[in-house]
C-alpha cells in the first residue's frame, strides 16, 4: 500500500449517530418539561450548528479548552430550543444539558459505520499508520475507546490539539506532524466536501470521499489500487 498514513474524519466517516439529533433532544427534553416535535428540533439544530462558528480557542490550555468546548455546546443546545420555540421553558436546563453531554460521549448515541473496524485492521496490517483527525471535542478519544477502535489508531487529533479546525491547512499539517509523516505519503478519508475533501487537498493530501464507497470494507482495496500503473 503506497500511503504511509491514512487519516479519517470521525462523524459521517468512521462513526455515525444512532438516531437524528432532534429525536434525542426532543425525547430527553420531555423529562424536563419541554414537549416539542422532533423534526422541528432537528431542523433548528442544523441551522444553529451551521452558524455557530468555530469551536477553536487558540492559546488556551487543554484544560481550559475542555471547559470552553462544553460551553460552546451548551450555547448550541440552548439556541436550538430558542430557535425551535422561544416560549419553551425547561425546569432545569443545566440538568438537561448534562444528560445530553454524557449521552453523546458514549455508545448510547454513536455506532461504528459499516466496515470501519475491518478497514482499520486491514490498513494497519498492510503497514500504514492510522489516525482520526476530526473537528469533534475532547470527548472523542474516550468515545473511540468505548467503540473499541482506539487500539487500531495511532493518533486522535482534534482542534484542542492545535487551535485550528478543518478545513484549515494547519489542522491537517499538525496531524501529519504528530504522526511523523508528510502530506505526500498520506491519505485523508472524509465525507464533507469542503471541510474534509477540499481541506485535505489544500494541505497536500490525497482525499477520498467515503460516500463513493459502498462500505468502508472497500477502502483497503481502493488504497491498494493507488499503486497500479496510471493511477
Domain ranges of the chain: 5-16+110-225, 19-103
At 145-198, the pLDDT tens digits run 999 999 999 999 999 999 999 999 999 999 999 999 999 999 999 999 999 999
Residues in the chain: 231
Q: 226 pLDDT band (50/70/90 cuts)?
A: confident
Tell me the CATH architecture of domain 5-16+110-225.
Answer: 3-Layer(aba) Sandwich (3.40)
**pLDDT of res. 227:** 58
Nearest in space to 123 (alpha carbons), one of 214, 205, 207, 220: 220
Maximum C-alpha span of the chain: 64
Q: 2 pLDDT band (50/70/90 cuts)?
A: confident
CA pair distance 146, 169, nearest whole angstrom: 29
At 23-33, the pLDDT tens digits run 999 999 999 99
3-state SS class at 15: strand
CATH 3.40.640.10 fits 19-103, yes or no: no
Contact 150, 120 (CB under 8 A): no
Amino acid at each position: 500500500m503506497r500511503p504511509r498514513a491514512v487519516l479519517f474524519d470521525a462523524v459521517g466517516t468512521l462513526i455515525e449517530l444512532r438516531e437524528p439529533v432532534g429525536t434525542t433532544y426532543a425525547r430527553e427534553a420531555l423529562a424536563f418539561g419541554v414537549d416539542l416535535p422532533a423534526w422541528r428540533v432537528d431542523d433548528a439544530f442544523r441551522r444553529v450548528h451551521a452558524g455557530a462558528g468555530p469551536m477553536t480557542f487558540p492559546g488556551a490550555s487543554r484544560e481550559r479548552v475542555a471547559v470552553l468546548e462544553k460551553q460552546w455546546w451548551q450555547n448550541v443546545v440552548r439556541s436550538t430550543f430558542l430557535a425551535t420555540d422561544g416560549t419553551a421553558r425547561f425546569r432545569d436546563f443545566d440538568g438537561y444539558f448534562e444528560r445530553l453531554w454524557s449521552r453523546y460521549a458514549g455508545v448510547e448515541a454513536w455506532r461504528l459505520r459499516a466496515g470501519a473496524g475491518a478497514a482499520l485492521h486491514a490498513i494497519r496490517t498492510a503497514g500504514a499508520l492510522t489516525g482520526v483527525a476530526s473537528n469533534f471535542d475532547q470527548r472523542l478519544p474516550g468515545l473511540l475507546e468505548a467503540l473499541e477502535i482506539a487500539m487500531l489508531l495511532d493518533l486522535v487529533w482534534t482542534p484542542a490539539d492545535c487551535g485550528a479546525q478543518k478545513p484549515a491547512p494547519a489542522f491537517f499539517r499538525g496531524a501529519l506532524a504528530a504522526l511523523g509523516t508528510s502530506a505526500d505519503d498520506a491519505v485523508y478519508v472524509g465525507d464533507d466536501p469542503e471541510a474534509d475533501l477540499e481541506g485535505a487537498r489544500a494541505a497536500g493530501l490525497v482525499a477520498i470521499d467515503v460516500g463513493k464507497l459502498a462500505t468502508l470494507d472497500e477502502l483497503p482495496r481502493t488504497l491498494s489500487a493507488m499503486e497500479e500503473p496510471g493511477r
